[in-house]
Amino acid sequence: MTNPRRSLAGLRSVRGLPLFRRLLELRIASQFGDGLFSAGLAGALLFNPERAANPWAIAGAFAVLFLPYSLLGPFAGALLDRWDRRLVLVGANTGRLVLIVGVGALLATHSSDVAVLCCALLVNGCSRFVGSGLSAALPHVVPRDQVVSMNSVAIAAGALAAFAGANFMLVPRWLIGADDAGAAAVIFLVTIPVTIALVLALRFPARSLGPDDTARAVGGSAIYAVATGWVHGARTVLAVPAVTATLAGLAVHRMAFGINTLLVLVIVRHTDVPSVDVAGLGTAVLFVAATGTGSFLATVLTPAAVRRWGRYATANGALGAAAAVQLAGATLHLPVLVLCGFVLGGLGQVVKLCADSAMQLDVDDALRGHVFAVQDSLFWVSFIAAVTAAAAVIPADGQAPVLAVAGALLYLSGLAVHAAVGRLR
C-alpha cells in the first residue's frame, strides 16, 4: 500500500525540480498528441466505413508503422548520446509537426492506406525519438536517489496524457464523422499538442539535458557513431545483467500484448452488432483504456514495491502473475479480455519501470541513448512479430483460445530468463 506521506513528498519534489517539471510538461503534451494521433489513425484505417481490414491487414499496418524505425532506431539512438538532446527534441517535434499535416492531407484526399501508413511511420519515428530523448534526459534533471520515483511520475503522467488523447479522439469523430474527412480533422487537431511540445522543448537551456562527455562516450565521427549504434547498444545491454533480464521480460510482455490486441480487434470486427465501425472502435478503445489504466496504477505502486522487495523480485513476481492472468483470457469473452488487459497492463508496466530504472541507474550516460533505442526497438519488434505470427493462424472470427495459452507460455519463458540472468550482478 502506498504511503500518503511518500506521495506528498513526491509531489513536493516535483515542485522543487524546475527542469524536471518542464520535462514533465513536455512529455504530457507530446504523449497527449501521440494518443490522439494513434487513436485517430486506428479509427481512420481499422474502423472506417470507407476502408476495410482483415487480420493480415491489421498485422501489415502495425508492421509498416513500427517495424522500419524499430530496425533503424538504435542507429539513430546514437545521436542522442552525441548531439545536444534539447536540439534533438526540438528537431524531432518540428519534423513530427510537418509530417502530421501530411497525414491529414492524405486522408482528406482519400489517398491509399499505403500512402497514409508510409507518412504515419515517419510521424511515429519522430515520436519515438522524442520518447527516447525524454527518458535518456531524465537523470539530468533529478537527483540520482530520486530517479526511480520521478521516472514513475513521468511515466504515469505520460500514460494518463496518452489515454486522454486517445479518448478525446472520440469527440471530434462523433461530431464530424467516421469517414476520411472526419479522420483528417482528428489528425489535424494533433498539431496543437505537438506545437506545445515544440515550444516547451525550446525553453530548455542548451546542453541541460545531456549527454555527458565521459570516458565511455563513443568516439569518431557522427557517421561512425550512427553506423555502430546497434553494436554499442546491444553490447551495453548484454554487459549489464539487470538490463538484459528486464528487457527479456519486457519483450515477452509485448508479445503477449500483441496477441491479445489482435484477438480483441478481430473479435470486435466480427461481432454481430449494428454499426460495427462505431461499436467495434468503442470496444477497442475500452481495451486500450483498461490497459492504460492498469499501467497508470502500476506507476504509482511500483516504487513502493521496489523499495520493499527490490527490482529483481518485483519483476519476477509481475511476470509470474502475468502468466496466470493471461491464461484466464483463454475464455475469449470480451469483458474478460478487457479485465485481463487492465491487469496485464499494470504487470507489464512494472517490468518496464524496472527496465527503465536499470538503464537510468546502471548504464553510463554516454551510452544511455543507445540502450533506450535498443529497448524501443525490442518493444515494437516483439509486438509486431507476435501479431504477425498470430495473424497466420487466427480464424476469421478470432476464436483461437490456443493463442491466449501461447501468451501464458511466453510469460513463463520470460520469467525463466529474468530469474536466471537477473541474479547475475
pLDDT at 13 over 80: no
> Identity (one letter) of the amino acid at 173?
R
pTM of the model: 0.75
In angstroms, the first-to-last Cα distance of the chain is 29
At 10 the pLDDT is 54
pLDDT at 274 over 50: no
Q: What are phi and psi of 190, to 5 degrees?
A: -65, -25
Q: Which CATH architecture has domain 16-206+232-422?
A: Up-down Bundle (1.20)
Length of the chain: 425
At 216 the pLDDT is 52
Percent of the chain with pLDDT over 90: 43
- Quickly list DSSP for 275-326: SHHHHHHHHHHHHHHHHHHHHHHHHHHHHHHHHHHHHHHHHHHHHHHHHHHH
The verdict on whether omega for the bond into residue 395 sits within 30 degrees of 0, i.e. cis, is no
Closest to 408 in 3D by CA, of 313, 352, 300, 331? 331
pLDDT at 269 over 80: no
19's enclosing H/E stretch is helix 18-45
> Measured between alpha carbons, how far is 30 from 308 in angstroms, rounded to an integer?
33
Closest to 417 in 3D by CA, of 250, 198, 170? 250
pLDDT tier for residue 275 given thresholds of 50, 70 and 90: very low
At 74 the pLDDT is 66
pLDDT at 403 over 70: yes
pLDDT tier for residue 78 given thresholds of 50, 70 and 90: low
Q: What are the boundaries of each domain within the chain?
A: 16-206+232-422
At 225 the pLDDT is 61
* Lowest mean pLDDT segment, chosen from 275-279, 293-297, 364-368: 275-279
Q: In whole angstroms, how far apart are CA 8 and each of 2, 17, 238?
A: 11, 15, 37
Report whether 93 contacts 126 (CB < 8 A).
Answer: yes
Q: Which three cell numbers stand for residue 173?
A: 469523430
pLDDT at 271 over 70: no
Mean of pLDDT values over 280-298: 80
pLDDT tier for residue 281 given thresholds of 50, 70 and 90: low
Q: In whole angstroms, how far apart are CA 20 and each of 134, 204, 242?
A: 10, 10, 26
> Measured between alpha carbons, how far is 151 from 117 in angstroms, rounded to an integer?
32
The helix/strand/coil state of 62 is helix
Q: Which three cell numbers stand for residue 52?
A: 476495410
> Between 225 and 28, whose confidence is greater?
28
> Measured between alpha carbons, how far is 124 from 194 in angstroms, rounded to an integer?
13
Q: Which three cell numbers stand for residue 244?
A: 538484459
pLDDT tier for residue 80 given thresholds of 50, 70 and 90: confident
> Measured between alpha carbons, how far is 238 from 378 in angstroms, rounded to an integer?
13
pLDDT at 36 over 90: yes
Mean of pLDDT values over 113-138: 89
Report whether 136 contacts 369 (CB < 8 A).
Answer: yes
Q: Which three cell numbers stand for residue 142?
A: 533529478
